[in-house]
C-alpha cells in the first residue's frame, strides 16, 4: 500500500511573536501585532478541525452509520474527496498501529 499522507492539513504554524512587515501608518504597531496574533490563532484552529472531521468521517464510515454521500453533503466536499480523506485516515491508523506493534515486540526481544 502506497501511503501518500497529507500532513500539511494538520500542521499548525509556529506560536511566535509576529511583527508587521508593512505596518499601516498611523495605527499603533501593538494593535497590528494583536491582530496578527489573533489571525494566527484562528489559522491554527483549522488543522484541529480537519483532524476531528476526518476522524468522524472515518469512524462513521467504518461503523456504517452515515453514507459517504451524506458526509459529502454535510461537509460541502465532493464524495471522491470524502473517500480520499477516509482512505488517508485509515492509512495513518494502519501506520500508527504497526509502529506501536513493532515497539511492543521490540520491548520483549532479547538484547543483541
CB 50 within 8 A of CB 9: yes
Whole-prediction pTM: 0.72
Render pLDDT for 24-60 as a digit per residue (tens, 0 to 9): 999 999 999 999 999 999 999 999 999 999 999 999 9
Q: How far apart are CA 84 and CA 75, in angstroms?
A: 14
Render pLDDT for 58-88 as a digit per residue (tens, 0 to 9): 999 999 999 999 999 999 999 999 999 999 9
Residues 54-70: b if buried by 16+ CB within 10 A, e if exposed: beebbebbeeeeeebee
First and final C-alpha spacing in the chain: 31
pLDDT of residue 7: 53
Render pLDDT for 89-100 as a digit per residue (tens, 0 to 9): 999 999 999 999
Amino acid at each position: 500500500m502506497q501511503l501518500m499522507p497529507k500532513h500539511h492539513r494538520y500542521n499548525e504554524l509556529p506560536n511566535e511573536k509576529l511583527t508587521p512587515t508593512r505596518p499601516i501608518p498611523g495605527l499603533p504597531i501593538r494593535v497590528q501585532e494583536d491582530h496578527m496574533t489573533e489571525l494566527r490563532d484562528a489559522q491554527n484552529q483549522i488543522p484541529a478541525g480537519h483532524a476531528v472531521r476526518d476522524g468522524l468521517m472515518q469512524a462513521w464510515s467504518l461503523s456504517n452509520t452515515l453514507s459517504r454521500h451524506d458526509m459529502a453533503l454535510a461537509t460541502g466536499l465532493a464524495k471522491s474527496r470524502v473517500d480520499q480523506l477516509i482512505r488517508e485516515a485509515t492509512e495513518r491508523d494502519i501506520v500508527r498501529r504497526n509502529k506501536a506493534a513493532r515497539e511492543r515486540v521490540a520491548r520483549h526481544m532479547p538484547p543483541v
